[in-house]
Amino acid sequence: MKNTKKIIIFGYGDLGSRVAAIHDSKQLEVYGVSRNPSKEAHNVFRWDWNSEQAFPDELLEISWDSAVLILKPTSFDEAGYHQGYCDGLTKLIAKTTQAKFQKAIFISSTRVYGSQQNPINGNTIPNPEDFRGKKLLEGEGIAKDYFGERLVVMRFSGLYTDKPNFLKIAPQSSLQTLQSLNANRISRNDAARLIAKVCLDSSISDISLICSDPTVNYKNYFERKFPEYRFSDSFDYKEQGKIFSTEALFRLP
């Protein structure tokens, strides 16, 4: 393709396929690499960087504008997170040292901020409180050590498929406990469009981006939706949760 940017997505799956499918991707030539691709697709290769297999020669010969790293835990305990985001990334890097990546994009999570008090902005230092956040932050560090100024870290809030489900935030017959008073999330389609935006914009590098819709406060939402009821009669919550400064969010126009 003429005047297109070549990108390779490691951990190609639902999110990667959305990057390949959106309108912006007409300016991108997307290749996918997956340890276990769900189906055969154009430019999608099976390669397990945790195995003894070498990086495919046909991919090694391409000069990549961006490498997108969408890693996953191998299991949902601490060992699985370490293997997926730390050991796995270290092995992937070691096996692609001969590859030409102008930019690397590491997909992380706003979990690295923990539940520290608000508002969180672009200068807020991550402070993860559980092993998931800690292993993601460790993975960010491994990527930063290798890629340096070529790295962009994209920290996504919880991904939803179509639209956020607020149906549960309605008057209840008994007191319900929410994990958090504040909710942060982003649609999968918007997440894919943001990845494409970073791939297309050569000026975006050496930065960590907070990728989320504006924070939703459940109490405020409830009181607007059901003014005749009291939020405290239906809900309590375990923690305040994060609030992101709107100005700090990396969002679509």
Which pLDDT band holds residue 115 (cuts at 50, 70, 90)? Answer: confident
Whether cis (ω within 30° of 0) applies to the bond prior to 119 is: yes
Q: Is residue 229 part of a domain?
A: no
Q: Is residue 90 part of a domain?
A: yes
Q: Is residue 179 part of a domain?
A: no
Please report the pLDDT score of residue 1 as a whole number: 46
Tens-place pLDDT, residues 6-59: 999 999 999 999 999 886 556 899 999 998 866 667 789 999 999 999 999 999
Structural domains of the chain, count? 1
Widest CA span in the chain: 65
d(CA 107, CA 71): 7
193-to-114, 171, 180 alpha-carbon distances in Å: 26, 35, 28
User: Quick one: CA dihedral 115, 68, 30, 32, positive or negative?
Assistant: negative
Q: Is residue 176 part of a domain?
A: no
Q: Is residue 225 part of a domain?
A: no
Report helix, strand or coil for 158: strand
pTM here?
0.93
Q: Is residue 171 part of a domain?
A: no
Residue 202 confidence (pLDDT) above 70: yes
Q: Is residue 134 part of a domain?
A: yes
Tens-place pLDDT, residues 140-187: 999 999 999 999 999 999 999 977 788 889 999 999 999 999 999 999
Please report the pLDDT score of residue 167 as a whole number: 81
Q: Which domain holds residue 141?
A: 5-164+185-217+243-248
Residue type, 39: K
Q: Are 74 and 92 in contact (CB under 8 A)?
A: no
d(CA 42, CA 112): 34
Q: How far is CA 39 from the centre of its chain?
A: 22
Q: Is residue 92 part of a domain?
A: yes
Name the residue with higher pLDDT: 165 or 232: 232
d(CA 172, CA 166): 13
Please report the pLDDT score of residue 42 as a whole number: 76
Q: What's the mean per-residue pLDDT of the chain?
A: 93
What's the CATH code of the domain at 100? 3.40.50.720
Q: How far is CA 176 from the centre of its chain?
A: 29
